[in-house]
Amino acid sequence: MQTIIALNTLMHQLEGDAEIMELITLEFTKLIASIRNEIFNTAPSTLYHIPFEDNVAILIQDFNQRYPDRHFQLRHRVSQQPPEFVIAPIYRIIKELNENSAKHAHGTLVETTLEITAGNLTLTVEDDGIGIASLEYLEKELIHKKGHIGLLSIKNDVNWLNGTFEMIPSEKHSTGTKIKTTIPLEVMEVTNENTIS
Protein backbone atom coordinates (compact mmCIF):
# COMPACT_ATOMS: atom_id res chain seq x y z
CA MET A 1 0.00 0.00 0.00
CA GLN A 2 2.81 2.42 0.90
CA THR A 3 4.57 1.60 -2.38
CA ILE A 4 1.41 2.31 -4.37
CA ILE A 5 0.91 5.63 -2.58
CA ALA A 6 4.59 6.51 -3.22
CA LEU A 7 4.23 5.64 -6.92
CA ASN A 8 1.10 7.77 -7.11
CA THR A 9 2.98 10.70 -5.54
CA LEU A 10 5.94 10.19 -7.88
CA MET A 11 3.63 10.06 -10.89
CA HIS A 12 2.27 13.51 -9.99
CA GLN A 13 5.80 14.90 -10.31
CA LEU A 14 6.17 13.63 -13.88
CA GLU A 15 5.24 15.64 -16.92
CA GLY A 16 3.18 14.21 -19.73
CA ASP A 17 -0.11 14.18 -21.55
CA ALA A 18 -2.73 15.64 -19.17
CA GLU A 19 -5.42 13.18 -20.24
CA ILE A 20 -3.18 10.16 -19.63
CA MET A 21 -2.04 11.58 -16.29
CA GLU A 22 -5.68 12.03 -15.26
CA LEU A 23 -6.50 8.42 -16.17
CA ILE A 24 -3.49 7.13 -14.22
CA THR A 25 -4.47 9.24 -11.20
CA LEU A 26 -8.02 7.89 -11.34
CA GLU A 27 -6.78 4.28 -11.48
CA PHE A 28 -4.37 4.83 -8.57
CA THR A 29 -7.21 6.38 -6.54
CA LYS A 30 -9.46 3.38 -7.24
CA LEU A 31 -6.68 0.93 -6.37
CA ILE A 32 -5.84 2.67 -3.09
CA ALA A 33 -9.54 2.79 -2.09
CA SER A 34 -9.97 -0.87 -2.99
CA ILE A 35 -6.96 -1.93 -0.90
CA ARG A 36 -8.10 0.16 2.08
CA ASN A 37 -11.58 -1.34 1.83
CA GLU A 38 -10.18 -4.89 1.67
CA ILE A 39 -7.92 -4.23 4.67
CA PHE A 40 -10.92 -3.01 6.66
CA ASN A 41 -13.00 -6.02 5.61
CA THR A 42 -10.23 -8.41 6.63
CA ALA A 43 -9.43 -6.74 9.94
CA PRO A 44 -11.56 -3.69 10.82
CA SER A 45 -9.92 -0.94 12.83
CA THR A 46 -12.15 -1.77 15.82
CA LEU A 47 -10.82 -5.34 16.08
CA TYR A 48 -8.38 -4.64 18.92
CA HIS A 49 -10.25 -1.74 20.52
CA ILE A 50 -13.61 -3.21 21.50
CA PRO A 51 -14.43 -6.68 22.89
CA PHE A 52 -14.12 -9.46 20.32
CA GLU A 53 -17.74 -10.59 20.67
CA ASP A 54 -18.86 -7.00 19.91
CA ASN A 55 -16.84 -7.05 16.68
CA VAL A 56 -18.47 -10.34 15.72
CA ALA A 57 -21.93 -8.97 16.60
CA ILE A 58 -21.29 -5.99 14.27
CA LEU A 59 -20.20 -8.41 11.53
CA ILE A 60 -23.37 -10.50 11.94
CA GLN A 61 -25.52 -7.33 11.81
CA ASP A 62 -23.77 -6.42 8.57
CA PHE A 63 -24.64 -9.83 7.10
CA ASN A 64 -28.29 -9.32 8.07
CA GLN A 65 -28.30 -5.99 6.23
CA ARG A 66 -26.49 -7.30 3.16
CA TYR A 67 -28.62 -10.45 2.84
CA PRO A 68 -32.15 -9.46 3.98
CA ASP A 69 -33.66 -12.74 2.74
CA ARG A 70 -31.57 -14.69 5.28
CA HIS A 71 -31.37 -14.52 9.05
CA PHE A 72 -27.93 -14.51 10.69
CA GLN A 73 -27.70 -15.23 14.42
CA LEU A 74 -24.85 -15.06 16.90
CA ARG A 75 -24.67 -17.07 20.09
CA HIS A 76 -21.66 -16.64 22.30
CA ARG A 77 -20.42 -17.94 25.59
CA VAL A 78 -17.25 -16.04 26.26
CA SER A 79 -15.58 -16.43 29.64
CA GLN A 80 -12.55 -14.38 28.57
CA GLN A 81 -11.24 -12.33 25.69
CA PRO A 82 -9.27 -14.40 23.18
CA PRO A 83 -5.50 -13.87 23.02
CA GLU A 84 -4.45 -11.28 20.45
CA PHE A 85 -2.82 -13.84 18.16
CA VAL A 86 -6.20 -15.45 17.36
CA ILE A 87 -8.37 -12.35 16.99
CA ALA A 88 -7.77 -11.48 13.32
CA PRO A 89 -7.67 -15.10 12.03
CA ILE A 90 -10.87 -16.08 13.89
CA TYR A 91 -12.61 -12.92 12.66
CA ARG A 92 -11.65 -13.82 9.06
CA ILE A 93 -12.87 -17.40 9.54
CA ILE A 94 -16.24 -16.24 10.90
CA LYS A 95 -16.59 -13.78 8.03
CA GLU A 96 -15.71 -16.32 5.33
CA LEU A 97 -17.93 -19.12 6.67
CA ASN A 98 -20.92 -16.76 6.93
CA GLU A 99 -20.19 -15.40 3.45
CA ASN A 100 -20.08 -18.94 2.03
CA SER A 101 -23.41 -19.78 3.67
CA ALA A 102 -24.96 -16.58 2.37
CA LYS A 103 -23.78 -17.08 -1.20
CA HIS A 104 -23.92 -20.83 -1.69
CA ALA A 105 -26.22 -22.55 0.85
CA HIS A 106 -29.57 -21.21 -0.44
CA GLY A 107 -30.96 -21.41 3.10
CA THR A 108 -32.77 -18.96 5.33
CA LEU A 109 -30.85 -19.26 8.62
CA VAL A 110 -27.14 -19.06 9.48
CA GLU A 111 -26.15 -19.52 13.13
CA THR A 112 -22.70 -18.67 14.45
CA THR A 113 -21.78 -19.99 17.88
CA LEU A 114 -18.63 -18.76 19.57
CA GLU A 115 -17.39 -20.30 22.81
CA ILE A 116 -14.20 -19.25 24.57
CA THR A 117 -13.02 -21.12 27.63
CA ALA A 118 -9.66 -21.23 29.37
CA GLY A 119 -8.36 -23.90 27.03
CA ASN A 120 -10.10 -23.54 23.66
CA LEU A 121 -11.96 -21.30 21.29
CA THR A 122 -14.74 -23.18 19.51
CA LEU A 123 -16.52 -21.68 16.52
CA THR A 124 -19.48 -23.35 14.84
CA VAL A 125 -21.25 -21.98 11.78
CA GLU A 126 -24.41 -23.84 10.78
CA ASP A 127 -26.97 -23.17 8.07
CA ASP A 128 -30.24 -24.76 6.94
CA GLY A 129 -29.35 -24.68 3.27
CA ILE A 130 -28.87 -27.34 0.63
CA GLY A 131 -25.92 -28.92 2.41
CA ILE A 132 -22.68 -30.33 1.08
CA ALA A 133 -21.32 -33.87 0.99
CA SER A 134 -17.99 -33.10 2.65
CA LEU A 135 -15.36 -30.42 3.16
CA GLU A 136 -13.38 -31.99 0.32
CA TYR A 137 -16.39 -31.50 -1.98
CA LEU A 138 -16.78 -27.89 -0.83
CA GLU A 139 -13.09 -27.27 -1.45
CA LYS A 140 -13.31 -28.80 -4.92
CA GLU A 141 -16.41 -26.80 -5.83
CA LEU A 142 -15.33 -23.44 -4.44
CA ILE A 143 -11.60 -23.45 -5.11
CA HIS A 144 -10.99 -25.54 -8.19
CA LYS A 145 -14.10 -24.81 -10.27
CA LYS A 146 -14.87 -21.21 -9.29
CA GLY A 147 -11.52 -19.84 -8.17
CA HIS A 148 -12.60 -18.97 -4.60
CA ILE A 149 -9.73 -18.91 -2.14
CA GLY A 150 -11.69 -18.18 1.06
CA LEU A 151 -11.83 -21.81 2.18
CA LEU A 152 -8.13 -22.20 1.49
CA SER A 153 -7.37 -19.13 3.63
CA ILE A 154 -9.53 -20.59 6.43
CA LYS A 155 -7.58 -23.84 6.30
CA ASN A 156 -4.30 -21.93 6.38
CA ASP A 157 -5.41 -19.85 9.40
CA VAL A 158 -6.62 -22.96 11.26
CA ASN A 159 -3.36 -24.81 10.52
CA TRP A 160 -1.33 -21.78 11.60
CA LEU A 161 -3.22 -21.77 14.91
CA ASN A 162 -2.77 -25.56 15.42
CA GLY A 163 -6.55 -25.96 15.31
CA THR A 164 -9.06 -28.32 13.74
CA PHE A 165 -11.63 -27.67 11.04
CA GLU A 166 -14.36 -30.26 10.49
CA MET A 167 -17.85 -30.76 9.16
CA ILE A 168 -20.17 -32.34 11.71
CA PRO A 169 -23.81 -33.52 11.56
CA SER A 170 -26.50 -31.01 12.46
CA GLU A 171 -28.82 -31.79 15.35
CA LYS A 172 -31.26 -29.05 14.25
CA HIS A 173 -31.65 -29.35 10.49
CA SER A 174 -32.18 -32.28 8.13
CA THR A 175 -30.24 -30.38 5.46
CA GLY A 176 -27.59 -27.74 5.67
CA THR A 177 -23.96 -27.53 6.64
CA LYS A 178 -22.36 -27.34 10.07
CA ILE A 179 -18.67 -26.55 10.31
CA LYS A 180 -16.81 -26.59 13.60
CA THR A 181 -13.44 -24.95 14.18
CA THR A 182 -11.52 -25.50 17.42
CA ILE A 183 -8.45 -23.45 18.31
CA PRO A 184 -6.29 -24.20 21.37
CA LEU A 185 -5.64 -21.04 23.37
CA GLU A 186 -2.45 -21.97 25.16
CA VAL A 187 0.20 -19.29 24.80
CA MET A 188 2.14 -19.82 21.60
CA GLU A 189 5.44 -18.25 20.77
CA VAL A 190 5.48 -16.81 17.27
CA THR A 191 9.02 -17.23 15.99
CA ASN A 192 8.43 -15.63 12.59
CA GLU A 193 5.56 -14.77 10.30
CA ASN A 194 4.98 -18.37 9.13
CA THR A 195 6.21 -20.60 11.95
CA ILE A 196 4.78 -21.27 15.38
CA SER A 197 6.60 -23.23 18.05
Pick from 13-17, 99-103, 112-116: least confident: 13-17
How far lies 49's CA from each of 43, 46, 64, 96, in Å?
12, 5, 23, 22
Residue 182 backbone dihedrals phi, psi, to 5 degrees? -125, 130
Please tell me the distance from the alpha carbon of residue 38 to that of residue 40, in angstroms, as a whole number: 5
16-40 per-position pLDDT tens digit: 777 777 877 788 777 766 665 565 5
User: Is residue 71 within a helix (H) or strand (E), and if so which, with residue range?
Assistant: strand 71-78
CATH of the domain at 150: 3.30.565.10
Q: What average pLDDT does the chain have?
A: 79
Assigned domain for 193 exists? no
136-167 per-position pLDDT tens digit: 766 666 555 555 566 777 888 898 899 998 88
Decide which of 121 and 177 is more confident: 121
Assigned domain for 192 exists? no
Q: What is the pLDDT of residue 123?
A: 96
Please tell me the distance from the alpha carbon of residue 26 to that of residue 21, in angstroms, as a whole number: 9
| Domain match, 97 and 66 both | yes
